[in-house]
Chains A and B, each alone.
Chain A
Amino acid sequence: DGGITQSPKYLFRKEGQNVTLSCEQNLNHDAMYWYRQDPGQGLRLIYYSQIVNDFQKGDIAEGYSVSREKKESFPLTVTSAQKNPTAFYLCASTWTDNTEAFFGQGTRLTVV
């Protein structure tokens, strides 16, 4: 089945540790996106990538890093520099023509 997969669904980390969230898609989509969502809030764009080996900062990139070494993969690293990392993280992908963005099921990160 084609789709976009995020893992893990729940993640706990100690303060000060880096953590990497996985996002994989087998839809052959060109563009991929990472969003952060806090309780009762909308989606805020962290990073996005149109093509392999290229990505751009979104609106809240500080404290995060990404890579796009393969078309199907767009991992997000939450670094210790991110002041308040506890949130719901959503990954999305789409073709670069005019189609909808498909979302993964999200990773709920809790930093203790």
Chain B
Amino acid sequence: GQNIDQPTEMTATEGAIVQINCTYQTSGFNGLFWYQQHAGEAPTFLSYNVLDGLEEKGRFSSFLSRSKGYSYLLLKELQMKDSASYLCAVRDMDDYKLSFGAGTTVTVRA
């Protein structure tokens, strides 16, 4: 099975940087995903990591360490529209089970 943990809430100031951590335990790892979800909407894809290291996509970056079962999502130059829930998800190698953490609600303040 999979056990995925991430902080419940984070608050940051517009223009700042926020790092959302995600730790996981899985019997067979086959990729880690980050999604953004605004209230009442479906999640939208942000990033994907399957190998160790940093993946950068504009203002968003994601890091993975498979040996530590650890990932983070880095949001730079925060904007008000970045206020949302950020979901960490892990896919299992054997049966493609895709499990999500409980999500981290990020509030960006002016």
Mark A residues whose CB is within 8 Å of B.
31, 33, 35, 41-45, 48, 50, 56, 58-59, 88, 90, 92, 94, 96, 98-106
Q: Which of these binds chain A: B12-20, B53-61, B70-78, B92-100?
A: B92-100
A48 near B42: Cβ-Cβ < 8 Å: no
CB <8 Å contact, A98 and B48: yes
Q: From B42, B50, B100, name the one whose CB has the most chain A CB atoms within 10 angstroms.
A: B42
Residues of B within 8 A of A31 (CB): 96, 98
Are A42 and B103 in touch, CB under 8 angstroms? yes
Contact across chains for B33 and A100 when beta carbons are under 8 A apart: yes
Q: Is the CB of A43 within 8 A of B87?
A: yes
* Residues from 67 to 110 in B contacting A, C-beta threshold 8 Å: 87, 89, 95-103
Are A43 and B97 touching (Cβ within 8 A)? no
Q: Is B21 positioned at the interface, with any CB of A under 8 Å from its CB?
A: no
Report if A100-B99 is in contact (Cβ < 8 Å); known contacts: A42-B87, A43-B87.
Answer: no
Beta-carbon nearest neighbor of B50 in chain A: A98
User: Looking at the complex, which one of A44, A96, A103 makes contact with B42 (CB distance below 8 Å)?
Assistant: A103
A43 proximity list for chain B (CB < 8 A): 43, 87, 89, 100, 103
Given the contacts A31-B96, A42-B87, A56-B97, A104 and B102 also touching, CB distance less than 8 Å = no
Question: Cβ of A98 and Cβ of B30 under 8 Å apart?
Answer: yes
Closest residue of B by beta carbon distance from A41: B102
A105 adjacent to B43 (CB under 8 Å)? no
* Cross-chain contact A42 with B30 (CB below 8 angstroms): no
> Could you tell me the distance in whole angstroms from the C-beta of B51 to the nearest C-beta in chain A?
10
Least CB separation from B99: chain A residue:
A45
Question: Which of A92, A94, A101 lies at the interface centre, i.e. has the most chain B CB atoms within 10 A of its CB?
Answer: A101
A65 to B48, CA, bound (A): 30
List residues of chain B with CB within 8 A of the CB of A88: 40
